[in-house]
Amino acid sequence: MTVTFTVPDEIIKSSFDEIISPVQKKKPNWLSALRSRGTVRSCPSFMWQFRDSLIVRLPCDVMICKDGGQFKIDTLNDTLMEVFSHSLDTELSEEHSKDFLNLKIRPMISYRSNKPVKAVQMTSFNYTTQDELLFRSVEGVFPIIKENTQLNINLFLRTSELVKRSKAMSGDRDVLISSGTPLCMIYFPQGLPRYKVDVGNILKNDIRYKYKDFKSGLAKFYFSGGLK
């Protein structure tokens, strides 16, 4: 089983490990400082998660900008990634929307697999607490199938922290989340698959999986006809 990541150019390919890499290849600095017994280094569930996961980092800075009397969130470089937002009160619940905003990070990276494989998107908290006050990734399960699918990372932004940072701005724009910040871990219950990186076209259609087909691992999909 091999997962193929597709990027639009050689520049992104050459720096791919700075965006996506095995956790085992780039372990957090604090982990090596722990003794081998009586810490998480001796906890099988924790170490298996690290062994069988990829860490996904932010490809470029996410900016917060003044827009009249309001603020908007944007990407510093739209050739590396796009940013979008969903309404949490309609897509999730009013309870979630009281304290959080949604931010969808879409790196110019797509993925496919020659055989279906289940992947689990997890928060990066076990890897780092960096920016934990501001955001956390949305956790969920998705299949990697033979059709190319663009990578989507949904974040919950904490409204109170966002307001605090916007008020602290001295100019018209500032960095909200820095390039290289860990966004999430992608865990593979069947074990970390081999992967390669190709240069080619990136699929930009919004893909939705039908839950009833997920158990078979051959998830069918349809195109929404546009981006939200």
Q: Are 228 and 84 in contact (CB under 8 A)?
A: yes
Q: Are 227 and 84 in contact (CB under 8 A)?
A: yes
What are the sequence ranges of the domains in the chain? 2-223
**Spatial CA neighbour of 157 closest among 77, 90, 62, 66:** 62
Q: Are 113 and 144 in contact (CB under 8 A)?
A: yes
- Provide the whole-model pTM: 0.84
Written as tens digits, the pLDDT of the chain (228 aa) is 899 999 999 999 999 999 999 999 988 888 888 888 888 888 888 889 999 999 999 999 998 887 766 778 888 898 899 998 877 888 888 888 888 888 899 999 999 999 889 999 999 988 888 888 999 999 999 889 888 889 999 999 988 888 888 888 778 888 889 999 999 999 999 999 999 999 998 864 444 444 444 444 443 333 333 323
